[in-house]
Amino acid sequence: MPKIKNPNVLIGFNSVDDAGVYRISDELALVQTVDFFPPVVDDPYDFGAIAAANSLSDIYAMGGKPLSALNLLGFPPESVPLWAVDEILKGCADKVGEADVPIIGGHTLKTKEPLYGMAVTGIIHPEKIISNKNAKVGDSLILTKPLGIGIITTAIKKDLVEQNVVEEAVSIMTFLNKSASEAMLEVGSNAATDITGYGLLGHLYELVRASKRGAKICLSKVRVIDFAWELAKQKVVPGGTLANLKFLQNKVDWDKEITQEAKLILSDAQTSGGLLISVSKEKEKKLLDTLASKGVPESMVIGEIVEDETCRIQVKT
């Protein structure tokens, strides 16, 4: 991509962040993002809701307020019946309704496999952007959803998962990052990102690299969907997770007790994962309390930001 010279581009391609930000005035900037992907679950309604929650998440991760969305839909009419397409759109409509974001247009085309997602436009005050580059030494790192989604959805495709685990995974993926975003804005946070395809450690690496710091993570504090441990042991993991772990190999210092399963889980490619928030130690408790009062009670402190210009991540038991 060409280098951006426009001074109104506050966040663009050069900083690997969640969404682009374009300044309209001193008080107002647009936040824009787009995301679409093939089904991660069998139920078309759930898929629509997951895709919608996932697309909105990048706006929430910047501390923005989503205003409107456009649908992006592709499907093969010979193998995907119209009722299923209806269900995808219904799942999405209910989810954006919950977020109070109207869908104001979109585009549909024939594709070889079903694809669905949204382009979302939001607003933010140019001085209140919570990017990934301002993490401070001593900050606590708070994660708002458990890990293991990529592993579970891979197992769903192989029919290895009981219905109750499917439901747990769907409820995690469809949970909006809206309240978590409002909590981090209310308390004041230094940096944030959402956990998606690069996994916890991949997105944390982007954050520490942008912030020119390092991080220390404590495995025992990271909440994981129970069944994902068993699946990781059986090597039921998405290709993206293996690629993430490979990418991270010379960026992470693992304690020698950290097992291969744990490495896979910490690198697991998530769909619609939680927010990872870097907040000053003094505000840690207030943020946890605010998250709990806004209905995000299972948020956890998983580690901290440390001084390290080489941007390494240490993983302890």
Residues of this chain that bind Co ion (CB under 5 A):
18, 35, 58, 194
What is the Cα–Cα distance from 151 to 76, expressed in whole angstroms? 27
The answer for residues whose C-beta is within 8 angstroms of residue 113's C-beta and 6 or more apart is 38, 74, 76
Question: Nearer Cβ to Co ion, position 174 or 262?
Answer: 174
Least distance between Co ion and beta carbon 61 (Å):
5
Least distance between Co ion and beta carbon 123 (Å):
18
Least distance between Co ion and beta carbon 63 (Å):
13
Least distance between Co ion and beta carbon 18 (Å):
4
Least distance between Co ion and beta carbon 160 (Å):
27
Question: Nearer Cβ to Co ion, position 211 or 254?
Answer: 211
Asked whether the beta carbons of 244 and 151 are under 8 A apart, the reply is: no
What is the Cα–Cα distance from 50 to 171, expressed in whole angstroms? 9
What is the Cα–Cα distance from 216 to 317, expressed in whole angstroms? 11
Question: Nearer Cβ to Co ion, position 85 or 176?
Answer: 176
Q: Please, what sign has the CA dihedral across residues 27, 55, 222, 132?
A: negative
Least distance between Co ion and beta carbon 42 (Å):
23
Least distance between Co ion and beta carbon 250 (Å):
23
Question: Nearer Cβ to Co ion, position 190 or 193?
Answer: 193
Least distance between Co ion and beta carbon 86 (Å):
26
- One-character DSSP codes across 184-224: HHHH--SEEEE--TTHHHHHHHHHHHHHT-EEEEEGGGS-B
What is the Cα–Cα distance from 167 to 171, expressed in whole angstroms? 6
- In whole angstroms, how far apart are CA 85 and each of 71, 91, 98, 117, 196? 12, 10, 20, 12, 24
Question: Nearer Cβ to Co ion, position 64 or 84?
Answer: 64
Question: Nearer Cβ to Co ion, position 148 or 202?
Answer: 202
The answer for residues whose C-beta is within 8 angstroms of residue 141's C-beta and 6 or more apart is 204, 215, 217, 276, 277, 278, 301, 302, 303, 304, 305
How many Cβ atoms from other residues are within 10 Å of residue 105's Cβ? 10
**Mutual angle of helices 44-61 and 178-187, in 10-degree steps:** 20
What is the Cα–Cα distance from 303 to 218, expressed in whole angstroms? 6
Question: Nearer Cβ to Co ion, position 204 or 262?
Answer: 204
For the chain, the 3-state helix, strand and coil shares in percent, each to the nearest 5, are: 40, 25, 35
Question: Nearer Cβ to Co ion, position 68 or 259?
Answer: 68
Closest residue (Cβ) to Co ion?
A: 18
